[in-house]
Structure 1
Amino acid sequence: MRHDLRHDLRHDHGSRRVLRFSLSFLSFAFILAAATPDVAAQEGADGYQTPAAELAALVDAPATPGISLSPDESVMLLTMRPSLPSIAEVAAPELRIAGLRINPRTNGPSRARPSNGLALRTLDGEERTVTGLPENPRIRNTRWSPNGSTVAFTHDTDSAVQLWVLDVASAEARRLSDLDMVNVGFGAPFNWSPEGDFLYAMAVPPGRGPAPAEPMVPTAPMIEETSGEAAPARTYQDLLQDQHDEALYEYYSTAQLARVGLDGSAAMVGDPSIFSGASPSPDGEYLLVQTTHRPYSYQVPASRFPRTIEVWDAQGNVVHGVAELPLQDGVPTSFGSVPTGVRSIAWRADADATLYWTEAQDGGDALAEADIRDRVFMHAAPFSGDPVAIAALPLRYGGVMWAEEGFAFVSENWFSTRQQRTYRIDPAAPGDMELIFDLQTEDRYNNPGFPMFTTNERGRGVLMTADGGSSIYLAGQGASPEGNRPFLRKRNLETGEEEELFRSEAPYYEGVVTLLEDGRLMTRRESVDEPPNYFLRDLERGTTSAVTEFPHPYPQFAGIRKEAIQYERGDGIPLSATLYLPADYDQERDGPLPTFVWAYPTEFKSAAAAGQRRDSPYQFTRIPYGGAVPYVTRGYAVLDNASMPVIGEGDAEPNDTFRQQLVANAQAAIDEGVRRGVVDPDRVGVGGHSYGAFMTGNLLAHSDIFRAGVARSGAYNRTLTPFGFQREQRLFWEDPDLYLYMSPFMHADKVNEPILIIHGEDDNNSGTFPIQSRRFYAALKGLGATARLVFLPAESHGYAARESVLHVLWETDRWLEMHVKPAKPVTTTDDAGS
C-alpha cells in the first residue's frame, strides 16, 4: 500500500512533500466508483485486473540483457534485466522535492530500474558467471575503469546505496567501501581516476544525523516576489514549497566527496556540498567541481539553482575559480535559448588538463538578433592568463569532439530552421574554422552519419581516425525510400571523398556498434523473425561470427505478420506505418478486421522531410506491451507508428493547421488499410501516449473516422502549459486562439466517441500534470460523453509496476472489445458516463 510519510511525519523522515498513503488507492477506488453501479460492482471489488493470457505473456517475456564493451573492446559486460517490479516496490516511500524524486530510505532515486545480475563474455563467445554479488542484487551505474580491469557499480539495499566493484580477471564482485552513496539525480555517484586505481565517490557525509523534522508550528509565511523582470518557465512539478523543503533538499542532496581505493580505503576530499559534478582531469592532477548553493527557487528545479564552478587539486584545495552562475529562472522559453555565462564545461579528452566550455553572446535569447550566438573557450592548467576563444558560432553550440591528432569538430544548430553545421578547428590556431557538414536535421535521407569514437590512453572518448588523422569513420542509419540500411563509411577530410566499408543487406537490419582495432566490425543484427544479437564481421574476408545468441523473447507469437507500408496523404505527402496482422489471418476467409491505430505527432518545417521513411522492413517483430501491437494477438489489425507529420513551411508554423493535418494523416492510414482489404473502416480505434494522447483527444473531437479512443498520460488543456509545449514556442498570451484551437478540452462537446483516459497518479512530466486528465474527464462526463478515467496509483509518466501494466492491458482490451470490435457500437447503460 502506498505509504504517506505525512501520516507519521515526525517519526520517519516525514514531510508533506512525501506522498505515500492509502489516498492513492482510495482515489483509484473513487474513480471506479464513479462508474455506473453495475460497472463499479463488477470491477472495483477485485482491484487490479489481469488481461487475457496472450497479453499477460508479453509482460512476463524475458528481457534481453544490456551490453557494455570494455575500453579495449575485448570483453562484454552483460547486465541482466529483471521482470517488472511489483506495485509494492514502485509505491515505496518517495520524497518529491526541487524537481527530484528521492527514496528517503536509501538516499537514491525513488524510481530506479536496476539490473539483477552481471555476466562477462569474451568476443569469441566464452561467458563467465560473476560471483560474489549480493543476494537479490539491485545494480545500477555500471562503469568500466579506464584500464578495463574493473567494473564499478552501485547496489541498492532497502536502506542505502552501496559502492561495489567487479574484478574482470576473476569475475568476482565485492563491496568496495562501508560508505553509503548519495545518488539523488546529479549523475553517477562516482568517477574513476584516469589510472583506474581508485574512485571519487559521492558519499553520505559521516555523522549526518536524522533528517530535519517538519515544525509542528509554522515558523514563517511562504513568500515569493518578482521584481518586474520576465522569468518564464515551463510547467515543472515537484518543486520546493517552503523552508522545510529547502532543509530536506539540502539534507538529502549534500554529499562528501571521497577518494576510495580498490583496497577499500577512503580519504575525504574537500568539504561536504551539494555536488552537481566532480570529474578528474585526464592526467589526474585536478578535479572539475560544480556545486549548487542558495538562493533556491520555488519556480524551477534544482538543475537551475545557482552554481559555483571550480578546479580543485587532488586534495580538495581550490586552485582556480571558473565561474559563479546565478539562479537560472529567467531563461527565455523559446527553443535555442540558453542561460548566460559558462555552460557545457568539461575537460578536453586529448589533453592532460584543459577545460573547454561555451558562453552565449546574444544574452541567451534565441529571439535576439546576433551575428555570433556562442563562443567556445579553452583554458589550460595551471589556468593562468585569460581563456582563449577557439570558435565563434553563428548558431547555437552543439558540442565538441576531440581528436588525438590535434584537431576537433565543433557543432552548432538552430531549431527554427532545423539546421546543423559541423566545423573542423585547430585549437592551436583559434578562429580558423573549416565547414565539414551542413545539413538539415529533418532530412534523414542525406544524413552523412555520426563520427565514430574510440578510447584513448587517458580513458577518454576521442574521434576514431585513419590515415594519420586525415580520415574519420562515419556510422549512420542509411535512411532511404526503401527503409533504413545502416552503414559504415570512411571519409577523407581533405578531399571529402567517402568509401563505404559496410551496408546492411536484406533480409537483415544490421547496425554498427564499433570498429575494432584489428579491423573487425561489431554489429547488432536482427531480422523479422530473429531477435537482435551481436556479431563480428571480418570486412576483408567477408566472414561473420556470432558473439551472442539471445533467444526469441516470445516464440509463441513468432507467426505474427508484419509489413512496413507506405501511402500518401490527400495533399501528396508520403506517409508510412507498420501493419501487423494476426498469425492465423486469412484475408479471403476473415475479410477486413477491426483495427487499432497508434501514433505520435511530429512537427516538421519541410514537407519533403516529413514524407521520408523512418523504419526498416527487416527489423525484429517486437511486441512491446506499452503500445498497440499486443492487440494483434486479440484479432485486430494494428497500424503502429502511423505517420502523423504536422508541417509548417516558410513563415507558417506547424501547429497553425494542427487539427486538419492530424485528421488528414489518420484518414490516409485508414484508407490505405481499406485499400489493402485488411481494415474495416467502421471498426477503427485510435490511441497514443503523452502527445499521442493529446492527438487522440483531438482526432475524436474533430473527426468521425474512429469508433473509440485510448489516451494515456496526456494533456488536453494547453492553457495549463502557457509558456509553450512540445515544439510550440509561442506563449499563450502571444496567441491565445492557438492554445484554444489545439486543446481537446475546449472542444470536449464534440467528442462523440467513447474515450478511455489513463494516467499515472504521480506523473512528473512537465507537460502532463494529472489534473489534465481529471479535468478532461470531468468535462466529458458533464457533457454526457462516454468516457472512462483510470488513475494508476504510484505511477509516473510511464508505467512501471507489473500490476499497473497488466491492468492497462486489461482496460485497453476491454475498451476495444466493447467499442471497436463489435459489428455495431455498444450502447448499453453500463457504458454511459462510466
Structure 2
Amino acid sequence: MARVRTLRPSRAAWSAVVVLAFAAQAVAAQRSNVAEQVAADRALLAKEVYVTPPAEIATLVTAPWYRNVTLTLQSPDRTHFLRQESDGMPSVQGFGKFHYYFGGLQVDPAANRARVLTMRASAGLSLIDATTGKTTTVEIPKGATVSSPSWSPDSRRVAYIANFPDASYVYVADAATGKSGQAARAPLLATLVTTIDWTQDGRHVVAVVVPSLRAPEPRKPAIETGPQVRLWLNGVKSPQRNFASLLDGPFDKDLLQYYVTGQLALIDVKTHALTRIGAPAMFTSVDPSPDGRYFRVTTMQRPFSYMVQYSSFGTREQLWDASGKVVAELWDRPLREAPDSTQTGAGFGGRGTLNGPPGKKFLAWMPSGPGMYYVEPVPSADSAANGGRANGGGRAGRGGRGGSVRAERVVQWMPPYGKDDTKVLYTNDAAVSQLAMSDDAKTLFLGQSSGGQGEIVAVDLADPPVRHVILRQRGYTPAFGTGGRGRGFGGRGGPSDAA
C-alpha cells in the first residue's frame, strides 16, 4: 500500500505569506488614508476660504528677509548709502485694490501710477554713514510709502516719490538731518515713467506730472459702438506668444492713452516752482541733459494693437529744448507685431545703452560740458582716403588698403544738434562693443573684441594716439557695469593678464 506524504510549508514560505498579508493590510490602510485625505481636501475646498499653511511653510514665507541690509545707492561723494526699508509682504487687501490691466501695464487709477508703486514701495528710508555706520532716518510723510529715491549731485539731498493712497508726489529730504518736504503740489503721472531725476546743478528735479487741464476719465459706453474686430498679417503665421493681458477694444485704447499721457515738468526744489515743458504726451522715458536745458524723450505712439502688449507699441525718440520745441528727431520705431520683441519701457534711461537710435550707438549726454556723444561707423570715403588708417587719433585699421575696415569713431554732438554740429573725439581701429567716459569727459574707456580676444583700453582725449590697455584676454567679452552718471567697467572671463 502506497504511503501518503504530507507536504509542510517551509519556514521561508510561511515568511512570504506573512509579508504578503502585512503588505495587503498596508495597501488597504494606505488606500483608506488616501481616500480620507481626498475627502478632507474636498471639504476644505468646498468652504472657499483662505487657510493657514503648515507651520514649516508659514515660517519660510513670513521670514523677515526684508530686514537684511544691502549697502547700495551710494551717494555721489561716496560717503553714505541709502537704504530702502520694507515692512514685509503686501496685504491681501492691497492686492485686491482695483486696478486696470492694459496689455501688460497694470495701473492704479485712483493714484495715477503703476500698480507696482502701490504694491511694492518701501516703508521708509535711512541714510548710513559709510565710515561710522551711523544711521539717519528720513522723515517720511504720514500715510505714504516711498519709491525711486535719487541722490542730488552734491550728495546733500535725496529726492523721492511719496506714494499716498490717492496720489504720488515729489519730496526732497536733507541728507544731514533727514527732514523732508514736498517739492511741488502737482501730483505725478507715474504710470510709465516711475522715477525722477536731478539736473547737474542740484537745483531742479525732472518729473512727469498729471496735466493741469486733464479731462475726466473716459467712460465705457453702455452699449458697444461696433463689433469686435481683429486683423492679422496676411499669410503670416503668428510669431507671438499667448499674452495674459491684451487690449480688448477701442475703449481700452482710449483709457490707456488717458492714463499714460503726462506733462513733462522741471521742479525748483528751493522755490517749489513748477515749469511745464512742452505739451502733454505719452512719455515712456525722459533723460535730461546735466544742465537741464535739453531733454531726450521717448513717447508712445498710436496705433495700438490687440495682438501685442504695450511694450511693443510704436515709439518716437526726440531731443527737446527747455521750451518743449523739438530740436532733433532721433528715432521713429513702428508698432512691432512681428517678430516678437517684447521690451520694457519705463523710467528715466538712455545713458550709454547700446539701444541708441540707428547710426548713434551708445548715445548719451556728455558727463561734463555741453552736448552728447555717440559711436558711428567711419564713413567709407574717410576710410578710402586714409588707406584704412584711423583719423582723429587712434591706430591704423587692421584691414589696410583694400582690406575690410570695421573702424568706428566716437563723436561729440553739440547744441543746437544740427546735422553738422559734430566733432570727432576719437577713431578706433575696430568696432566698439562697450563705451564709457570719465566724469570730467577727458578719458574714454572702450571695449572691443577681435580674433577671439577681448580687451578694455583707456584713451586720454588730450593724447588720443596713445592707448592704455587695461585688460586683454582671449575668450573675454568686455562688459561695463552702470552706476548712475559715472560708470565702471568689468566683464566675464577667467584669469587674465593685464598688459
The amino acid across from 2:415 in the alignment is A
Of residues 248, 255, 261 in structure 1, which corresponds to 2:268?
Answer: 261
Give the match's secondary structure for 2:224: coil
Partner residue of 1:318?
326
Partner residue of 2:414?
380
Offset from partner CA, 1:376-422 (integer Å, 9 cap, x none):
76523222334678778988x754211246343344789xx999765
**2:371 paired with 1:353:** yes
Between the aligned partners of 2:105 and 2:452, the Cα distance in structure 1 is: 31
Partner residue of 1:409?
445
Offset from partner CA, 1:795-834 (integer Å, 9 cap, x none):
xxxxxxxxxxxxxxxxxxxxxxxxxxxxxxxxxxxxxxxx
Partner residue of 2:231?
224
Give the match's secondary structure for 1:69: coil
Of residues 153, 159, 171 in structure 2, which corresponds to 1:152?
Answer: 159
Partner residue of 2:390?
none
Offset from partner CA, 1:56-89 (integer Å, 9 cap, x none):
2333333224542211111222221111011121
Aligned residues of 1:331 and 1:338 also touching (Cα < 8 A): no
Partner residue of 1:823?
none
Query: Aligned-pair distance for 1:423?
Result: 5.9
Query: Aligned-pair distance for 1:253?
Result: 0.4
- Higher CA-based Rg: 2
**2:215 paired with 1:198:** no
Partner residue of 1:461?
486
Partner residue of 1:50?
52
The amino acid across from 2:442 in the alignment is G
**Aligned residues, how many?**
414
Query: Aligned-pair distance for 1:219?
Result: 2.2
Between the aligned partners of 1:233 and 1:421, the Cα distance in structure 2 is: 38
Partner residue of 1:85?
90
Give the match's secondary structure for 1:177: coil
Between the aligned partners of 1:429 and 1:294, the Cα distance in structure 2 is: 48
Between the aligned partners of 1:127 and 1:97, the Cα distance in structure 2 is: 41
Aligned residues of 2:188 and 2:209 also touching (Cα < 8 A): yes
The amino acid across from 1:406 in the alignment is K
Between the aligned partners of 1:235 and 1:431, the Cα distance in structure 2 is: 53
Closer, same or farther: CA 57–439 of 1 in aligned 2, 3 Å? farther
Between the aligned partners of 1:106 and 1:127, the Cα distance in structure 2 is: 31
Query: Aligned-pair distance for 1:373?
Result: 12
Closer, same or farther: CA 375–264 of 1 in aligned 2, 3 Å? same
Aligned residues of 1:234 and 1:333 also touching (Cα < 8 A): no
- What TM-score results when the alignment is normalised by the length of structure 1? 0.44
Partner residue of 1:39?
41
Query: Aligned-pair distance for 1:302?
Result: 2.7
Partner residue of 1:240?
247
Alignment of 1:371-520 (within 5 A): 378-386=412-420, 399-403=434-438, 404=440, 406-411=442-447, 422=456, 436-437=471-472, 440=475, 460-463=485-488, 496-497=498-499
Aligned residues of 2:312 and 2:341 also touching (Cα < 8 A): no
Between the aligned partners of 1:193 and 1:211, the Cα distance in structure 2 is: 33
Q: Which segments of 5 or more consecutive residues in structure 1 lack a partner in the other structure?
A: 1-34, 362-369, 442-446, 464-473, 481-490, 498-834
Closer, same or farther: CA 170–51 of 1 in aligned 2, 3 Å? same
- Residue identity over aligned pairs, in percent, reads 26
Query: Aligned-pair distance for 1:223?
Result: 3.8
Aligned residues of 1:70 and 1:76 also touching (Cα < 8 A): yes
Partner residue of 1:798?
none
Of residues 105, 114, 122 in structure 1, which corresponds to 2:110?
Answer: 105
Of residues 181, 205, 213 in structure 2, which corresponds to 1:207?
Answer: 213
Between the aligned partners of 1:451 and 1:313, the Cα distance in structure 2 is: 30
Between the aligned partners of 2:312 and 2:455, the Cα distance in structure 1 is: 28
The amino acid across from 1:383 in the alignment is Y
Aligned residues of 2:317 and 2:329 also touching (Cα < 8 A): yes
Partner residue of 2:283?
275
The amino acid across from 2:155 in the alignment is G
Alignment of 1:17-28 (within 5 A): none
**2:79 paired with 1:74:** yes
Offset from partner CA, 1:762-804 (integer Å, 9 cap, x none):
xxxxxxxxxxxxxxxxxxxxxxxxxxxxxxxxxxxxxxxxxxx
Query: Aligned-pair distance for 1:327?
Result: 2.5
- What TM-score results when the alignment is normalised by the length of structure 2? 0.70
Alignment of 1:262-341 (within 5 A): 262=269, 263-331=271-339, 341=358
Between the aligned partners of 1:306 and 1:431, the Cα distance in structure 2 is: 42
Query: Aligned-pair distance for 1:312?
Result: 1.8
Partner residue of 2:14?
none
Aligned residues of 1:357 and 1:377 also touching (Cα < 8 A): yes
Query: Aligned-pair distance for 1:294?
Result: 1.6
The amino acid across from 2:331 in the alignment is A
Closer, same or farther: CA 438–179 of 1 in aligned 2, 3 Å? farther
The amino acid across from 2:264 in the alignment is L
Between the aligned partners of 1:349 and 1:229, the Cα distance in structure 2 is: 46
Closer, same or farther: CA 36–250 of 1 in aligned 2, 3 Å? same
| Structural RMSD (CA) | 4.2
**2:187 paired with 1:180:** yes
Aligned residues of 2:356 and 2:362 also touching (Cα < 8 A): no
Partner residue of 2:382?
none
Aligned residues of 2:313 and 2:335 also touching (Cα < 8 A): yes
Closer, same or farther: CA 100–135 of 1 in aligned 2, 3 Å? same
Between the aligned partners of 2:234 and 2:405, the Cα distance in structure 1 is: 31
Partner residue of 2:124?
117
The amino acid across from 1:259 in the alignment is L
Query: Aligned-pair distance for 1:350?
Result: 4.4
Aligned residues of 2:376 and 2:408 also touching (Cα < 8 A): yes
Give the match's secondary structure for 2:279: coil
Query: Aligned-pair distance for 1:99?
Result: 2.5
Between the aligned partners of 1:193 and 1:78, the Cα distance in structure 2 is: 23
Closer, same or farther: CA 230–402 of 1 in aligned 2, 3 Å? farther
Specify which structure has the bigger relative contact order, considering alpha-carbon pairs within 8 angstroms and separated by 6 or more residues.
1
Aligned residues of 1:202 and 1:255 also touching (Cα < 8 A): yes
